[in-house]
């Protein structure tokens, strides 16, 4: 008989949100388990190139950062949330520095601040173009020294277990009167499903870029946290606002390498196939316009000229200076026979960041007692209809801190477990000749989302996508109940939920706002509202 693993807190995910949250609770004496489906360093954080938007310069001010965020969010930001996160950012950044993170400095030893689209000031703290990786390494070094944190690598969380589930009731009904008691998780290496018991779960599972055929995200970004929360009845909102990064390196594969917005912050110019700088036709800020504007502009130019990509021109800077400022991007371009200082870079938009997610308070709380969410998986109200560049790492740090304080209070009053959690029951078996079905489902889902639920939408396209996705969902659900689980099946099960939720939220929004643009409703409504989907 397998032994149930018992902790005070379970953290699902090992990016900046999950790691910083775990460290804060461990410092309060909590026994914390971090579950990550790949290696502990594999996360969306690890791939974040740009940096952290934070007011640190005397030439900048909090009000300016707030206003830039509100403008980018296109009327849907929660101003109270924006104000608190921007104000609480500087002390959270100082904690990273205390952990040993060294941001890139100028010759005088002061932080070398970058500027990205939508920002009125230079305020992006960065470590060259590998900021995410540097943050991840600093936090993991602290985790390794923390005896109260146990990391379970290659452990895939399947479903949240609630008190109602133990009593034989549907978990998604009335989540406010329910309670988290743990989760089931697959040990990827052994194939066994284990029980992890805890009164608190923090969803820090990152984004869902792989729901689209072309994405800048790593392979782990399959919307696992959103799907798990939705299955237990926690509201998911604003999922229609999917940010397509305007500039990823064009190639023939599904995986697109991100060319950071910081490159345009250093003066790069977008050009069409005729070599014309076109952004002045679309926005007063030209190449530093918000991402949604830039992505649609590139898409428009590509369709107008019949081209497969646009060009990004930063040849006004030398190859030597570019290699020093953007070593990772420079090396990747070099692998594609491109010299950034001499050659224009072929770029196209790709799915990058989901602004919506699991609905939370400013303290990372969901409506389900014991369930918290932080980072890209959560929807706090900061981003609204479009995320301002480099605000995501800032949000993760602040919400992890606030969430840790809220969890500490919750643990002091949470009622004890009433009965033991039952072991996982495997109803299925193995059938290798059926595995090709999963591959076909995976390809159809991502292609459908790219073709019908992409940068430019219509009611007809969304309705077609909903029909196809729901047919896929039935097939995937049947496979789930009849075969043993593995990572591919679990990711596909989660992605089809995320796809359906994105479509439903998009159909609810009968206007064009921020990242959601539909040709059937090209104007904005006067009073914007959040979209929301709940399992019924």
C-alpha to C-alpha distance for 77 and 99, rounded to whole angstroms? 31
Nearest-CA neighbor of 131 among 260, 293, 316? 260
Q: What's the whole-number average pLDDT of the chain? A: 91
Torsion 472-475-480-484 (CA) sign: negative
Residue 400 φ/ψ region, left for φ over 0, alpha for ψ in the -120 to 50 degree band, beta for the rest: alpha
Other residues' Cβ atoms within 10 Å of the Cβ of residue 433: 6
Collapse the DSSP code of 220 into the 3-class scheme (helix H, G, I; strand E, B; otherwise coil) and give the result.
coil
The confidence band for 446, taking pLDDT boundaries of 50, 70 and 90, is very high
Using a pLDDT cut of 90, give the percent of the chain over it. Answer: 70
Q: What is the pLDDT of residues 282-305, one digit of tens each?
A: 999 999 888 888 988 998 898 888
Of 139, 320, 345, 354, the C-alpha closest to 251 is 345
How much is the pLDDT for 437? 82
Phi-psi region of 102 (alpha: psi -120 to 50; beta: other; left: phi over 0): beta
**Does 515 have pLDDT greater than 60?**
yes
For position 260, what pLDDT does the model report? Answer: 86
Residue 517: is its pLDDT beyond 90? yes
Q: Is the pLDDT of residue 39 over 80?
A: no
Domains present along the chain, CATH in parentheses: 5-201+218-240+355-411 (3.50.50.60), 248-349 (3.90.700.10), 432-531 (1.20.58.100)
Q: Which residue has the higher pLDDT, 154 or 3?
A: 154
C-alpha torsion sign, points 475, 476, 480, 484: positive
Kindly compute the dihedral angle of the four CA atoms of residues 191, 442, 18, 64, in this order, to the nearest 10 degrees.
Answer: 180
The pLDDT, as a whole number, for residue 306 is 86
Query: CB neighbours (10 Å) of residue 381?
Result: 22
In which band, very low, low, confident or very high, does the pLDDT at 274 lie, cut at 50, 70 and 90?
Answer: very high
pLDDT tens-place string over residues 224-266: 999 999 999 999 999 999 999 899 999 776 667 889 888 998 9
How does pLDDT run across 163-204, given as a tens digit for each residue? 988 888 888 888 988 999 999 999 999 999 999 999 999 999
Is 291 an active-site residue?
Answer: yes
Kindly name the residue from 256, 291, 402, 513 that is annotated as catalytic. Answer: 291
Distance CA 335, CA 333 (A): 5
Would you place residue 1 in the very low, low, confident or very high pLDDT band (cuts 50, 70, 90)? very low
pLDDT average, residue stretch 68-95:
95
Both tokens assigned to 284: 């007063």
pLDDT above 50 (res 534): yes
Residue 271: name the closest of 307, 228, 319 by CA: 307
Tens-digit pLDDT profile for residues 49-60: 568 999 999 999
pLDDT at 268 over 70: yes
| Listed range (140-149, 246-255, 450-459) with the worst mean pLDDT | 246-255
pLDDT over 70 (residue 429): no
Query: Could you give the CA distance from residue 344 to residue 161 in angstroms, rounded to a whole number?
Result: 52
- Out of 254-258, 435-439, 497-501, pick the least confident: 254-258
Phi, psi (deg, nearest 5) at residue 27? -65, -20
- Residue 344's CB is within 10 A of a number of other CB atoms, namely 18
């Amino acid at each position: 008989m397998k032994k149930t693993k018992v902790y005070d807190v379970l953290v699902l995910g090992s990016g900046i949100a999950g790691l910083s949250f775990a460290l804060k609770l461990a410092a309060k004496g909590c026994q914390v388990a971090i579950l990550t489906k790949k290696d502990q360093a594999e996360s969306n954080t690890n791939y974040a190139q740009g940096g952290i938007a934070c007011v640190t310069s005397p030439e900048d001010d909090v009000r300016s950062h707030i206003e830039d965020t509100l403008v980018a969010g296109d009327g849907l930001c929660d101003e109270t949330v924006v104000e608190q996160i921007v104000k609480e950012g500087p002390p959270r950044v100082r904690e990273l520095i205390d952990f040993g993170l060294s941001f890139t400095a100028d010759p005088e030893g002061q932080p070398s601040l970058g500027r990205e689209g939508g920002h009125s000031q230079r305020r992006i703290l960065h470590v060259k173009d590998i900021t995410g990786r540097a943050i991840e390494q600093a936090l993991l070094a602290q985790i390794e020294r923390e005896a109260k944190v146990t990391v379970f690598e290659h452990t895939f969380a399947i479903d949240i277990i609630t008190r109602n589930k133990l009593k034989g009731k549907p978990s998604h009904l009335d989540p406010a009167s329910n309670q988290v008691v743990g989760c089931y998780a697959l040990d990827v290496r052994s194939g066994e499903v284990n029980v992890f018991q805890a009164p608190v779960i923090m969803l820090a599972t990152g984004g869902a870029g792989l729901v689209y055929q072309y994405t800048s995200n790593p392979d782990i970004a399959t919307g696992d946290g959103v799907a798990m929360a939705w299955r237990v009845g926690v509201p998911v909102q604003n999922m229609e606002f999917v940010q397509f990064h305007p500039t990823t390196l064009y190639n023939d594969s599904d995986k697109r390498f991100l060319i950071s917005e910081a490159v345009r912050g250093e003066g790069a110019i977008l050009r069409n196939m005729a070599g014309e700088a076109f952004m002045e036709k679309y926005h007063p800020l030209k190449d530093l316009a918000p991402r949604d504007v830039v992505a649609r502009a590139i898409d428009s130019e590509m369709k107008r000229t019949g081209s497969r990509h646009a060009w990004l021109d930063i040849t006004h800077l030398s190859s030597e200076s570019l290699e020093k400022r953007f070593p990772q991007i420079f090396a990747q371009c070099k692998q594609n026979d491109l010299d950034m200082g001499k050659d224009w870079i072929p770029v196209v938009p790709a799915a990058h960041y989901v602004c919506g997610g699991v609905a939370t308070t400013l303290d990372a709380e969901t409506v389900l007692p014991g369930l918290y969410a932080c980072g890209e998986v959560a929807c706090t109200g900061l981003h609204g209809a479009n995320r301002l560049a480099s605000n995501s790492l800032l949000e993760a740090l602040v919400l992890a801190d606030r969430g840790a304080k809220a969890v500490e209070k919750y643990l002091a009053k949470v009622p004890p477990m009433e009965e033991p959690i039952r072991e996982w029951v495997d109803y299925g078996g193995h059938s290798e000749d059926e595995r090709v079905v999963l591959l076909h489902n995976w390809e159809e889902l991502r292609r459908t989302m790219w073709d019908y639920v992409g940068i430019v939408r219509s009611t007809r396209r969304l309705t077609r996508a909903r029909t196809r996705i729901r047919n896929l969902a039935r097939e995937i659900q049947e496979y789930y109940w009849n075969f043993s689980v593995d990572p591919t099946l679990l990711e596909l099960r989660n992605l089809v939920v995320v796809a359906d939720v994105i479509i439903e939220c998009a159909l609810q929004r009968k206007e064009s706002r921020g990242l959601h643009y539909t040709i059937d409703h090209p104007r904005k409504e006067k009073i914007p509202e959040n979209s929301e989907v709940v399992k019924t």
